[in-house]
Amino acid sequence: MADTPLQITGNRAKAEELPSVVEVLEGATKRAIAAVQDYSQLSFRALGNLATPPHYIQDTLVQMDDVGVGSLPIILLSGFFIGGVMVLQTGAQFVRFGQTSLTGDVVSLALVRELAPAITGLLTAGRCSSGMASELGSMLVTEQVDAMRAMGTDPSRKLVTPRVLASLAMVPLLTALMVFVGLLGGCVASVFSLQLSAVEFWRRAIDILEFSDLMQGLIKALVFGFLLATVGCYKGLTVRGGTQGVGRATTQAVVISSVLIIVADLFLTKLALYLANRVF
């Protein structure tokens, strides 16, 4: 008898079995390991491209303008008010002990060692890492990357290396500007709130700094710039799912780069404090 829609037959497909928890965790672990491997390969290849021609200088200058000049307003604005907040918070405690003159020391060390590199990295990641992911993701979805390969151009050399190099050059400069503007904001807050002399504030803020403090902030800025650029490029070049995938990659680029910056900050701080009296 012919099968009918209401007839129960033995040919009905069995319901697929749901994967176990172990299988789900195993699959997630394999995907994470593969992603780390691909990210490492992209990062090392981007740096290795610097040693051999061709070098896309014009593309690098364009990216330096985007990362550096484009991020300048938010860096300067944030740095000024962060320095002012630092003075208000620390000065309120030093007033209790009659040591308001130490405010410049604390604010200077905090900005150079920790606050300026970390906040600059996070702000630049929010602006530039997402932009890199969306731009490269859109190029991948519209098959521009495939067309580039067909014309004999290496996408890693053309797209990734200029962005990484621009971030390595611009993030330390943005960090230095945030330190200066943060000290300027701290000076304004100390003069009007704590009645300190501007000359005394700047003198103590500069005298407290050592070469190891400057190197600690510089190394952090370099590492943070490298992380935000490589993560943004990796997420952009691994987009899946069309235009919706570009949106997901943009969000993931900001989240992952920000988390990596915070995690790397801990290990870099420990390493810098260990090397402070031995190398620097």
Structure confidence by residue, pLDDT tens digits, 138-153? 888 888 888 888 888 8
pLDDT computed for residue 7 by the predictor: 52
- Kindly tell me if the per-residue pLDDT of 12 is higher than 70: no
pLDDT computed for residue 178 by the predictor: 95
- Kindly tell me if the per-residue pLDDT of 280 is higher than 70: no
pLDDT tens for each residue of 110-125: 999 999 999 999 999 9
Tokens coding 160 = 């990734």
Amino acid at 137: G
Measured in degrees and rounded to the nearest 5, phi and psi for residue 228 equal: -65, -35
Composition of the chain by helix, strand, coil, percent to 5: 80, 0, 20
pLDDT computed for residue 180 by the predictor: 95
Q: What is the DSSP letter of 50?
A: G
- Kindly tell me if the per-residue pLDDT of 8 is higher than 60: no
Q: Please report how the helices 116-124 and 242-275 are oriented relative to each other, as an axis angle in degrees rounded to 10.
A: 170
pLDDT computed for residue 16 by the predictor: 61
Q: What is the DSSP letter of 13?
A: P
**Mean of the per-residue pLDDT values for the chain?**
87
- The pLDDT of 201-222, averaged and rounded, is 90
pLDDT tens for each residue of 168-191: 999 999 999 999 999 999 999 988
pLDDT computed for residue 73 by the predictor: 92
pLDDT tens for each residue of 227-250: 999 999 999 988 887 778 888 889
Tokens coding 34 = 């593969």
- The pLDDT of 80-107, averaged and rounded, is 85
Long-range contacts made by residues 35-44, C-beta under 8 angstroms, separation at least 24? 35/238, 38/234, 38/238, 39/230, 39/231, 39/234, 42/156, 42/160, 42/230, 42/233, 42/234, 42/237, 43/164, 43/226, 43/230, 43/234
More confident residue, 2 or 200: 200
pLDDT computed for residue 152 by the predictor: 83
Q: What is the DSSP letter of 138?
A: H
The answer to whether the beta carbons of residues 135 and 229 sit under 8 Å apart is no
Residue 170's nearest CA partner among 132, 136, 212 is 132
Question: What confidence tier does 155 reach under pLDDT thresholds 50, 70, 90?
Answer: confident
Q: Measured between alpha carbons, how far is residue 55 from residues 154, 157, 171, 234 in Å? A: 11, 8, 21, 20
- Kindly tell me if the per-residue pLDDT of 52 is higher than 90: no
Taking residue 72's Cβ as centre, other Cβ atoms within 10 Å add up to 14
Tokens coding 80 = 């000024």
Low-confidence winner among 41-50, 91-100, 209-218 (lowest mean pLDDT):
91-100
Cis omega (within 30 of 0) for bond into 53:
no
